[in-house]
Structure 1
Amino acid sequence: MSTAHEPRRRRRRRGGGDGGREMPMVPDVQFTSYYGRPVVKPAPWSHEIAAYLFLGGVAGGSGLLAAGAQLTGRPVLRRNARLAALGAVMLSAAALISDLGRPERFFNMLRTIKLTSPMSLGSWILSAFSTGAGVAAAAEVDRLTGERLPLGPLRGVLRAVEGPAGLEAAVFAAPLAVYTAVLLGDTATPTWHGAHRDLPFVFVSSASLASGGLAMLTTPVAQAGPARRLAVLGVVGDLLATRLMEQRMDPIAAEPLHDGRAGAMLRASERLAVAGGVGTLLGGRNRVVAALSGTALLAASALTRFGVFEAGIESAKDPRYTIEPQKRRLAARRAAGITGDSITTAG
Structure 2
Amino acid sequence: MSPDRAPVGALFRRFRERLAVEGPNRLGGPGSRADHGPKVTASRVPLPGGAGPGARGGRATGADVARAEAEPGPSREAEPRRRRGGRAGGGEPLNVPPAEFTSYYGRPILKPPVWKWDIAAYLFTGGLAAGSSLLAAGGQLTGRPALRRAGRVASLVGVTASTYFLVNDLGKPSRFHHMLRVAKLTSPMSVGTWILTAFGPAAGLAAVAEAAPWLPERGLLGLGRRLLPPAGHAAGLVAAATAPALATYTGVLLADTAVPSWHEAYPELPAIFAGSALASGAGVGLLAAPTAQAGPARRFAVAGAALELWGAHRVENRLGLLSEPYATGTAGRLLRAGRALTAAGVTGALLGRRNRTLSALSGGALLAAALCTRFGIFHGGVASARDPRYTVVPQRERVDRRASEQD
1:15-94 to structure 2, matched below 5 A, reads 15=84, 25-94=95-164
Q: Which residue of 1 aligns with 2:383?
A: 314
- Tell me how far 1:151 sits from its aligned partner: 4.4
Label 1:281 to 1:149 Cα distance change in 2 as closer, same or farther (>3 A). Answer: farther
Contact 2:134–2:281 (CA<8 Å) still a contact in 1? no
Query: Compared with structure 1, are the counterparts of its residues 181 and 148 closer, same or farther at alpha carbon in structure 2 (3 Å cutoff)?
Result: farther
Cα displacement string for residues 155-207 of structure 1 (whole angstroms, at most 9, x for unaligned residues): 44433322211111011101101100000000011111121111110110011
User: How far apart are the structure 2 equivalents of 1:15 and 1:150?
Assistant: 96
C-alpha contact 2:132 2:152 (8 A) present in aligned 1: yes
Q: Give the Cα separation in 1 of the matches to 2:166 and 2:107.
A: 29
Equivalent pairs, count: 330
Aligned-residue identity in percent: 51
CA distance in 1, matches of 2:211, 2:106: 56
Deviation track 1:254-309 (CA, whole Å, cap 9, x = no partner) reads 11111111111111111111111111111233100000010011000000000111
Cα distance change on mapping 1:140 and 1:4 into 2, 3 Å: farther
The one of 200, 205, 229 aligned to 2:299:
229
For the 8 Å contact 1:209–1:234, the answer to whether it is kept is yes
Per-residue deviation at 1:48? 0.4
Indicate the structure (1 or 2) with the bigger Cα radius of gyration. Answer: 2
Q: Point out where structure 1 has 5 or more consecutive residues left out of the alignment.
A: 17-23, 340-347
Amino acid at match of 2:142: T
Q: How does 1:132-281 map to 2 (within 5 A)?
A: 132-144=202-214, 151=221, 153-249=223-319, 251-281=320-350
Give the Å deviation of 1:67.
1.1
One-letter identity of the residue aligned with 2:111? K
Question: 2:210–2:229: 8 Å Cα contact kept in structure 1?
Answer: no
Secondary structure of the structure 2 residue equivalent to 1:242: helix
Structure 1: distance between partners of 2:161 and 2:176: 14
Q: Which amino acid aligns with 2:321?
A: I
Post-superposition shift, 1:142?
2.8
The equivalent of 1:298 in structure 2 is 367
The structural deviation recorded for 1:146 is 6.2
Distance 2:239 2:158 in 1: 13
TM-score by length of 1: 0.89
Find the partner of 2:181 among 95, 111, 124.
111
What's the counterpart of residue 396 of structure 2? 327
Task: Find the aligned partners of 2:274 and 2:392 in 1 and give their Cα distance.
Answer: 30
Q: Give the structure-2-normalised TM-score.
A: 0.77
CA distance in 2, matches of 1:252, 1:147: 65
Alpha-carbon distance in structure 1 between the residues aligned to 2:285 and 2:399: 48
User: Over aligned residue pairs, what C-alpha RMSD do you find?
Assistant: 2.1
Distance 1:123 1:260 in 2: 32
CA distance in 1, matches of 2:214, 2:351: 33
Q: How far 1:143 sits from its partner (Å)?
A: 2.6
Tell me: CA distance 1:86–1:160, structure 2 relative to 1, closer, same or farther (3 Å).
Answer: same
Once residues 115 and 147 of structure 1 are traced to their aligned partners in structure 2, the CA distance between those partners, rounded to angstroms, is 46
Which of 127, 137, 154 matches 2:197? 127
Q: Which moved more, 1:191-200 or 1:158-167?
A: 158-167
- Bigger shift: 141-150 or 263-272? 141-150
**Counterpart-to-counterpart distance in 2, 1:148 and 1:40:** 64
Q: Distance in 2 between matches of 1:64 and 1:75?
A: 14
